[in-house]
Amino acid sequence: MRNIRIFRSEIHRNCRFKSRHWLTLLIIISYILPGSLPALAQYHGGNGEPNTPFLIADDFDMYQIGLHPEHYSKHFKLIADIDLFMFTGTLFNIIGSDSKPFGGVFDGSGYKIKNFTYTSTDSDYIGLFGYVGAKARIQDLSLVGVNIDAGSGSNVGGLAGYNEGTIVNCSVVGSITATKTDIITAVCIGGLAGENLYGSITNCSVGGSVSGNIYVGGLVGRNLFGSITGCHTCNTVTGKETTGGLIGHNNEGVLTNCYSIGNVYGKYTAGGLVGINGPEAWIYPPDPVDSILGCYAGGQVKGKLNVGGLAGGNYGNVFNSYASGSVTATEDYTGGLVGGHTSGIISNCYACGLVISPGNDVGGLIGHDLWGRSYQKSFWDETVNAGLNGIGNTSDPNVIAETTANLQKSATFTNVGWDFVGETYNGDLDYWRMCGDDLVYPELSWQFLAGDLLCPAGVDILDLAYWAAHWLDVNCDASNNYCRRGDFNHDGCVDLFDYRFIAAHWLKIN
């Protein structure tokens, strides 16, 4: 086996063209004599157990994973950056399928997989991992130079076509496309995952571009009952129906502390963060769920009907969130925050982007309110959108118009009960923060550097003193905002592990 490895490395060094022929030969052998490859080489070591995972060091190792479904429940560990440039068309063995999901653990160890390319006319479940099962975990992995064209395929994502498992600390940069469409194809297209069913996605990001037909999202095309936390996108997202900067359709899933700053171009129901938020029900409003918590969108959104800075259509609850990008539509139901609001509570939110539409029901915060749902202490910028109402087809005393100048003063918000860093009258969860009036609109406290606990912006002696006052506090959880934000790693106590966050950002300014 060692001689084979040496031979392969010599080929890689001397001639990429010859290497491509070598790869083709191995692929042919793998189909003719499927039992021969394990005998030739079994990855770069390990036996697939938790403490001795299979070691993945090169492109051939990655190719082998998809070739051996009997290993899908095993543990894998990446030990080097990998370039998949030799795999074009449909040559790469996608890992996991709907009939045999990947159910193991893949630890990227902070390494990169480069140039994953897959081109197909109509294949479903396309991604580096086609189908990720409920017991699977993928972590600490970066994909760069991704180029997927799935034609009319559905459930397409850069990392996973379909996810039911756990994805943590992963990123994708590249192009994901499925645009050869008719009315029921190219559904669920996402930068990271095409569809997320009951799965958990945490601290992941996507850059580049995503294009599809229905349920198209910068991170995930459709999120069904899943949890997405601390994720962000900075990509261009283009779709026909239900298109969002982060999520195309968020159906009873929960988005927490996420943002999107890419541009969104949709047709029907487009939003800066999500296309549709909540379960769709046009006949009778569904019971809403807490679905968007502490999120924001900052890119421009353009569409035809049902277009919003944060959400195109909303059927769920939205708390402590905002939209700052411009919103442009050619027809009806256009809002700075939400295009069409059907059910749920919108609480402690604001929109400050320019809203433009020649159609009916155009509002600084909400375009169209269908069922007269509940609003709580939410604002829109009447300086930017002079001549508009807060809601395009009705009014509500809790949808409040303010000038740009007033929206850049913390008292405007704290006077109606918003919970800000530096005050305790409205609570100690510290959702919002402003360092100085007349400078910027409010930002979410998590947008600041870990360790930057107090104004002025930056990590300095004031932050250290505040943090030290909570030294060795225990029972830190969401109910007390993790001991007033001193428990940075959320392990339940304030200790030396948290001090590392302050040290890492010492004297830095966000």
The per-residue pLDDT for 449 is 87
pLDDT at 193 over 70: yes
Among 98-112, 234-248, 382-396, 475-489, the range scoring the smallest mean pLDDT is: 475-489
Q: Do 336 and 308 touch, CB atoms closer than 8 A?
A: yes
The per-residue pLDDT for 72 is 98
Q: How buried is 393 (Cβ within 10 angstroms: 0-12 exposed, 13-18 middle, 19+ buried)?
A: middle
The per-residue pLDDT for 22 is 47
Q: How buried is 6 (Cβ within 10 angstroms: 0-12 exposed, 13-18 middle, 19+ buried)?
A: exposed
The per-residue pLDDT for 181 is 64
Pairing relationship of beta strands 443-444 and 432-433 according to DSSP bridges: antiparallel
Structure confidence at residue 12 as a pLDDT band (50, 70, 90): very low
Q: Which domains does the chain carry?
A: 85-396 (2.160.20), 452-509 (1.10.1330)
* Residue scoring higher pLDDT (398 or 501): 398
pLDDT at 51 over 60: yes
* Residue scoring higher pLDDT (281 or 469): 469
Torsions phi, psi for 261 (to 5 deg): -125, 15
Tally the C-alpha atoms within 13 A of residue 505's C-alpha that lie toward its C-beta.
Answer: 19
Helices (H) and strands (E) in the chain, counts: 9, 46
What rounded mean pLDDT belongs to the chain? 90
CA torsion sign, 275 to 278 to 284 to 285?
A: negative
| Nearest one of 427, 435, 443, 441 to 481, comparing CA atoms | 427
* Residue scoring higher pLDDT (435 or 191): 191
Predicted confidence (pLDDT) per residue in 204-247, tens digit = 999 999 999 999 999 999 999 999 999 999 999 999 999 999 99
pLDDT at 341 over 50: yes
| Nearest one of 281, 279, 342, 274 to 308, comparing CA atoms | 274
Which tokens sit at 47? 């036996």
| Nearest one of 142, 130, 134, 188 to 168, comparing CA atoms | 142
The per-residue pLDDT for 161 is 98
In angstroms, rounded to a whole number, what is the distance separating the alpha carbons of residues 344 and 334? 18
| Nearest one of 214, 233, 306, 238 to 273, comparing CA atoms | 233
pLDDT at 508 over 90: no
Which tokens sit at 500? 């590392």
SS (H, E, C) 8-49: HHHHHHHCHHHHHHHHHHHHHHHHHCCCHHHHHCCCCCCCCE
Q: Which residues pair with residue 361 across a beta bridge?
A: none
The per-residue pLDDT for 27 is 53
* DSSP label of 141: E
| Nearest one of 332, 265, 337 to 301, comparing CA atoms | 265
Predicted confidence (pLDDT) per residue in 143-180, tens digit = 999 999 999 899 999 999 999 999 999 999 999 999 87
- Give the count of beta carbons closer than 10 Å to the beta carbon of residue 112: 18
pLDDT at 37 over 60: no
Which tokens sit at 449? 């550097």
In angstroms, rounded to a whole number, what is the distance separating the alpha carbons of residues 29 and 440? 63
pLDDT at 454 over 50: yes
Q: Do 78 and 88 touch, CB atoms closer than 8 A?
A: no
Structure confidence at residue 74 as a pLDDT band (50, 70, 90): very high
Preceding omega of 53 cis (within 30 degrees of 0)? no
For residues 275-282, average pLDDT: 80
SS (H, E, C) 228-249: EECCEEEEEEECCEEEECCEEE
Percent of the chain with pLDDT over 70: 89
Structure confidence at residue 8 as a pLDDT band (50, 70, 90): very low
What is the DSSP code string of 127-140?
Answer: SSEEEE-TT-EEEE
Among 140-144, 267-271, 429-433, 469-473, the range scoring the smallest mean pLDDT is: 469-473
- Terminal C-alpha separation, the chain: 51
| Nearest one of 201, 320, 305 to 253, comparing CA atoms | 201
The per-residue pLDDT for 13 is 38
324: left (phi over 0), alpha (psi -120 to 50) or beta: alpha
